Structure formats: C-alpha cells, structure tokens
Amino acid sequence: MQLTLFTDYALRTLVFLALQPEDNLSTITEVAERFTISRNHVVKIVHQLGIKGYIETIRGKHGGIRLARPSHDINLRDLISDMENVSCLLDCTREGCRLEPGCRFQSIMRKAMRAFLGVLSEFTLADLVKDENRMCGLLGIERPIETPVACEV
C-alpha cells in the first residue's frame, strides 16, 4: 500500500509538532518551510488534523498549532485510517469486471489491509520521534539547553 502525499505530509506535520516544547505554538508557515511543502497544502492538512482531534489550532495574532494530546496517545493505525480511505483499496464493481463475482482478490486485499493496520496499531507518534535529538538535528530544530537542577544536601 502506498500512502497519499496528504497522509505523508500529515505525518511530517505531527512529527514536527511532537518535537516542539510542550507549550510551544508553531505556525503553518514553519511547517511548510521546514518540509518545503506548499503553505496552502499545509493549511488543508492542519484543518483535517484539527477536525480529527490530533492538533489544536489557536487563532489570532499569537495563535498557532500544537498537538492536542501527547504523542504517545496518537496511534499510527488510527491516524492512517483517518487520513486514508483504507476501507476501499480495490473496487471491482467500479470497472465492471467480469471476474468480480468469482474473484477472491478483494477478500485477499481486505486480509492484507487488516495485517497492515495491525502492525501500525503497535506504534504511536512517540515511536517516530523516539530519537528526539537526532530528529531535531535533521529538522534544524534547536532544543533549549536544560540547566542541571542543583541538588540540596
């Protein structure tokens, strides 16, 4: 199965947001520039991700976007299912195929899709950004330097 560019860009957007500090608001322009994606395309992606509850959008001068829930609560199976039409990979009736009444390919494809989604269900967005320092480096995201906490004796 090949994911659409829409889903690919939705994943990239979520990865970018998952790498941001918790209270940080990002902008559509930042995402578009970071991945060299059309800003208009990112607007559509952000709209869908907002409708589906993956991101929170805040309007206004100081607005932006951020994850609506922790990355470990965003299951990849759910995300892919929400972004793709996984229920219909093959529509034999659309083409008027003469083999359709006796063909088993649709049932085989449904079984393959269940296996594909089953594997995705084992992973979350947090798994995609597990190596946070490397991912930030690849995206050119500067991480704030954490100051060590002084221990009291």
Mean pLDDT across the stretch 117-145?
87
Is the pLDDT at 144 greater than 60, yes or no?
A: no
pTM summary value: 0.82
Domain boundaries, the chain: 5-139
Contacts of 9 (CB under 8 A, 6+ apart): 35, 37, 41, 42, 45
Q: Measured between alpha carbons, how far is 140 from 133 in angstroms, rounded to an integer?
A: 10
pLDDT digits (tens, 9 = 90+) for 63-82: 999 999 999 999 999 999 99
Strands (E), the chain: 55-58, 64-67
Q: Measured between alpha carbons, how far is 22 from 18 in angstroms, rounded to an integer?
A: 8
Q: Which CATH number fits domain 5-139: 2.30.30.90, 3.40.50.1820, 1.10.10.10, 1.10.3720.10?
A: 1.10.10.10
Length of the chain: 153
Mean pLDDT of the chain: 87
Mean pLDDT across the stretch 108-127?
92
